[in-house]
Structure 1
């Protein structure tokens, strides 16, 4: 795949970008607004294809979304195309736990004028919607959400945490290991097919908006903005299809929505 800058920027609704802090911020935020986080392929039994051409075709040309492996494969190609110095990381997801599991989350560390930034378009609902400066112990507030990094000496990791009313909530931890493509492919297979992964058995979607984010966990649609949070239970596959195209800007047809609906757990769910 040849990364076509003009087509990518058009997909994101952007003009030219350069290697500035402001444009790095814009790159992540606008990809998260234009291209939804979604795990429809794993839910329907498919391991996402991470070859650059397949990711480009799906996320850019076909108007679909993807989960972290796909989202950040595309983002990494964009970072290269625009000239940002970067390296991939494979993080251990914690989601509130005291320690992480397998290395199952792909993201990037970008070096910009001597400063390291976490750049991540693929963590879904609770993740940061813009790059974070990698400084331990410093609170960083972005778009009304507060994060920090802390050292976990026992694990040998830097842990990203989100501030909640109940306290600091650990999202994931990462170290200096430089993954190669085979590591990423193995993590992708684990995420898509392992019974310990949430992706083969639950619908998980998120897209950031100008005022907050919209997310979907199985049948529960959740909208966050400056006025608060609202939730709605989807009633059928037709309602799901409307959400896919309206809330998440995705090009899937009604037949795909019906196949997804048939895979969803019957019990009431909590929003992502």
Structure 2
């Protein structure tokens, strides 16, 4: 995946990363955390009927140039461009969301496997509410703590891997994936489905999420939820409040 208008320094400025960079785990972890805290997951263009372009240059213009967020293909696409600029080898994986089990859903999510020091690590900056906060080793064993969250990545069966997250004290399946080869163009049908199918979650609900250093801020329709180590807060917004909350909590000014 390449974009003629991608500039690594402009990306680093966008996410507020000021340290040195190298094609190693420490850098990739730092960039992943910074992007999660500064480039929100959001589907506002889907709800507005503006469509979602997977042209790489359009993603750079939207997320870096216009300082917007996006959903999985956009934010993970931007992260893939950064990995490529760093010289980190990566590949895409098509994921099957499992958060509505036992309903079996199609592979409509996209994540990244990055190769670092000869090992593959799952990277994902685009899985909404309870997504991971740092890369996870594909060959890892057992739960991993990331700040105040816990995740587990391991084999689901002989062919697939599964990511789980601890949600309010219980383990919950997030998604599964296999190691089949996927090109960027392979996600265009899933993008069309997510952004146009009337029963798609993204067509029915406003979803905006941003990580904080120790938690998350989530807007689901008009319900604003804050997750922090000392508890969970929730309040229902009047529609007139939404634009200000998008600006102040998510850095999205004029996104509606």
Q: TM-score range by the shorter chain?
A: over 0.9
Aligned mate of 1:159, from 157, 162, 176: 162
2:203, 2:109 → 1: CA distance? 16
TM-score (norm 2): 0.93
Q: Distance in 2 between matches of 1:48 and 1:24?
A: 26
| 1:38 pairs with one of 39, 42, 51 | 42
The Cα offsets for residues 192-231 of structure 1, whole Å up to 9 and x where unpaired, read as 1123320011001100112211001001001112221111
Q: Do the aligned partners of 1:88 and 1:108 also contact (CA within 8 Å) in 2?
A: yes
The alignment status of 1:179 with 2:207, answered yes or no, reads: no
Aligned to 1:103, the other structure's residue is in SS state coil
Matched, 1:240 2:249: no
Using the size of structure 1 for normalisation, the TM-score is 0.88
- Pick from 75, 79, 103 the counterpart of residue 71 of structure 1: 75
- Would you say the 8 A contact 1:100–1:173 is kept in 2? no
Aligned residue number for residue 22 of structure 1: 26
C-alpha separation between the residues in 2 aligned to 1:187 and 1:204? 18
Tell whether the 8 Å contact from 1:161 to 1:169 is kept in structure 2 after alignment. yes
Q: CA deviation at 1:180?
A: 2.0
Whole-angstrom CA distance in 1 between matches of 2:150 and 2:103 = 21
Superposition deviation, residue 45 in structure 1: 1.8
Note the alpha carbon deviations across 1:153-204, whole angstroms, 9 max, x for none: 27x3101011235632100000011112331111111111123320011001
Given the alignment, which residue of 195, 198, 207 partners 2:198? 195
Q: Deviations over 1:113-172 (max 9, x none)?
A: 122111011111111111111235411010111111232227x31010112356321000
Q: Matched residue of 1:213: which SS?
A: strand
Query: What runs of 5+ residues in structure 1 fail to find an aligned partner?
Result: 257-272
CA distance in 2, matches of 1:80, 1:208: 24
Q: CA RMSD in A?
A: 1.6
Aligned residues: 252
Match of 1:262 in 2: none
Match of 2:219 among 216, 221, 240: 216
Secondary structure of 1:146's counterpart equals: strand
List per-residue Cα deviations over 1:8-47 (Å, max 9, x = no partner): 1111111331112111111111011111100011111232
2:229 is aligned with 1:226: yes
TM superposition outliers: structure 1 runs of 4+ over 4 Å: none
Residue aligning to 1:250: 252
**Equivalent residues of 2:136, 2:153 under 8 A apart:** no
Q: In 2, distance between residues paired with 1:143 and 1:179?
A: 31
**CA–CA distance in 1 between the matches of 2:16 and 2:174?**
29
Shift of 1:251: 2.3
